[in-house]
Amino acid sequence: MNHATLVTLRDRHPAWRLLASPHAPLVANFLHRVFVAPNERVISEADLAEALEDELFVLREQLGSETYPKGASEYLNDWAAADKGWLRKFYKPGTDEAQFDLTPATEKAIAWLGSLTERAFVGTESRLLTLFALLEQISAGTETDPIKRVDDLRKRRDELDVEIARVLAGDAPALDDTAVKDRFQQFQQLARELLSDFREVEHNFRLLDRKVREKIALWEGSKGALLDEIMGERDAIGDSDQGRSFRAFWDFLMSSSRQEELSARLDQILALPVVAALKPEPRTRRVHHDWLEAGEHTQRTVAQLSQQLRRFLDDRAFLENRRILDLLHGIESKALALRTAPPTVGLMTIDAMGAEVELPLERPMFTLSVKPRLADLALEVDPAEDDISTDRLFDQIVVDKARLRATVQQALRVRAQITLRELINDEPLQQGLAELVAYLELAHDGDVVGGGAASVDGLRAVVDETVEEPIQWRASNPMGEPVTREARLPRVIFTR
C-alpha cells in the first residue's frame, strides 16, 4: 500500500479506471444487470449491443439526448479497448461474430460498489464461527501425531454424544431469527464471491497459456527441449495451488449425492419464514447449478487453450517442414542441372540408402498351411418351403428419440436431476441396445467434452467419466429365451 504502487494501480488497473470514469454508473449498472445478476459468461456482440441500446434509450429519455451521444457498438468497443479493459472481446473458433465477457477487474469493481450501500443488518457471529471452523480444520489436518489426532476425534465424539443425549431428552435449542439471518447472509455473500472467483481462475489460466505462447515464439533451442518445457508448464498449471483447488471443488460438486443434498437443504432453508422475509435473490435456489455451469465453462476454456496451443505447435512444425522441403528442392535443382553434363571426377558411390537389419528372432516360425476340404454337397429344400420369407432381412429397429426426450423431461419435472441408470430403472428399455445408444446420442447432442455438459432442448446432460455404472435390460437370445444384458458406461446425468 505504498504511494508508488497506488499510483501505478490508479493509472493501469482497469477496476480503478472504471471507478474514476465519468461513465461509471452506466458501465457498472449495465454490466451488473446483463452479466453478474443472471450469471452470464459469454454474450454475443449483437445481443449485448441491443441490450445496451435499450439502456441508452431509457437514459436519454430521462437525462436528455446529449447524455450519452455514442452508439452502443462504439461504447462496447471502447470498454473492451486496451486502455479500459472492462470487457474481453474475442471470437469463438469457427465463428466470425464477436463475443464479450467481463474481466475479473470489472467484477471486483462492481462487487465493491455493491458493498457501499448501507445494510440494515450486519452479522458478525457467523463469520467468527467460520474463522474458528477454518482454524480447527487447519489444525486437525496438519497434526502428524496420531495420538493427538485420536484424542481430538474422541473429544469431538464425546461432544456429539452429549448433544445427542440432550436432543433425545427433549432439550433441542433452535437458532433464533437473528442467527438464521446472520448465517444466511454469510451464505449468500460466499456464494456470490465463489461465482466471481471463477472468472479470475479462468483469467489466470489464460495468462499462463499466454506465457507459454511467448516462450514458444522466442525459443531458440531444440524442439525436444521446447516440448519438455511446454509439458512442464502444462503440468505446472494443473499441479498449482489454484489448479488443485479447482479440481477438488469440481470433484466435490460433480457428486450427485452432494447436489441432491444441496438442493434439499436450500429448499428447506428458503422455506423458513425468517429467510423468506429477507427476499433472497431468485437464483439462490439454484446457485449450485450456477457453480456447475461456471466451473464447466472454465474447464471448456482450459480445453480450448490446450487445442489452440496444439495448433500453435503445429504451425511451428509446418514452418520447420517447409524449410526441409526447400532444402530438398535445392538439392533436386542442382541434380537436374548436372544431369546433362555430369562431372567425370570426384563422384562418390554408396551401396544403399540404409542398412537392412534382420535379426534371427524376428523371423517367424514355419507354419504348416491347412488346406480346406470341400464337400460336394447339394442343399436340398423342401418343395413345400420353396418360397422362403426374406422379410426379416429388411426388419429395421427405429428408435423414437422424441419419445426418449419426453421421458427425460417428464422425469425432471419432479426431480432436479436424474442419472441414465435411474431413468432406465424407472422406464425400462423397450428396444434394447439400440434404445440405450439413442439415450447416449441424446446426452451428447451439442459440443460435449469429457466431464462437460450439453444443452438438449432446455435440458443439460453431464458426463462424469470418473464413475462407471452398470445398466441392465431384458432381451431374448437367438433361441427366444429371456436373458439379461448389461452394459458398463460412464455416469450420465440429465439436469434442468
**Tell me, what's the pLDDT at 392?**
62
Structural domain contains residue 315: yes
Q: Are 424 and 471 in contact (CB under 8 A)?
A: yes
SS3 call for 302: helix
- Beta bridge pairs of residue 87: 102
**Tell me, what's the pLDDT at 121?**
53
* Sign of the dihedral defined by the CA atoms of residues 297, 298, 299, 303, in that order: positive
Amino acid at 122: V
Structural domain contains residue 279: yes
* 240 C-beta neighbours (distance < 10 Å), count: 14
**Tell me, what's the pLDDT at 119?**
58
**Tell me, what's the pLDDT at 233?**
58
Domain hosting 180: range is: 176-320
Record the pTM: 0.45
SS3 call for 385: helix
Residues in the chain: 496
Structural domain contains residue 336: no
Structural domain contains residue 158: no
Give every CB contact of residue 259 below 8 A, 6+ residues apart in sequence.
253, 288, 292, 416, 417
- pLDDT tens digits, residue range 238-277? 566 666 776 676 676 667 777 777 778 778 777 888 778 7
Structural domain contains residue 223: yes
Q: How far apart are CA 234 and CA 226, in angstroms?
A: 12
**Tell me, what's the pLDDT at 114?**
79
* Sign of the dihedral defined by the CA atoms of residues 292, 115, 49, 101, in that order: negative
Whether residue 180 is found in the same domain as residue 263? yes
DSSP state, 394? G
Looking at 303, 320, 337, which one is the last position of a domain? 320
Q: Which of 415, 411, 441 is nearest to 427 (CA)?
A: 411
**Tell me, what's the pLDDT at 213?**
67
- pLDDT tens digits, residue range 347-370? 677 777 777 888 888 888 888 777
Q: Are 71 and 3 in contact (CB under 8 A)?
A: no
Structural domain contains residue 66: yes
Looking at 76, 100, 115, which one is the last position of a domain? 115
Give every CB contact of residue 209 below 8 A, 6+ residues apart in sequence.
305, 308, 309
Structural domain contains residue 276: yes
Looking at 71, 98, 115, which one is the last position of a domain? 115
CATH of the domain at 52: 1.10.10
Count how many domains the chain has: 3
CA angle at 167 for the pair 163 and 170, rounded to the nearest 5° = 140
Give me the DSSP letters along 14-63.
Answer: HHHHHHHSTTHHHHHHHHIIIIITTT---EEHHHHHHHHHHHHHHHHHHH
Whether residue 190 is found in the same domain as residue 308? yes
Q: Which residues of the chain have pLDDT under 70?
A: 118-129, 131-132, 134, 195-196, 198, 209, 212-213, 216-217, 219-243, 246-247, 249-250, 252-254, 282-283, 285-286, 288-295, 297-319, 346-347, 377-396, 445-459
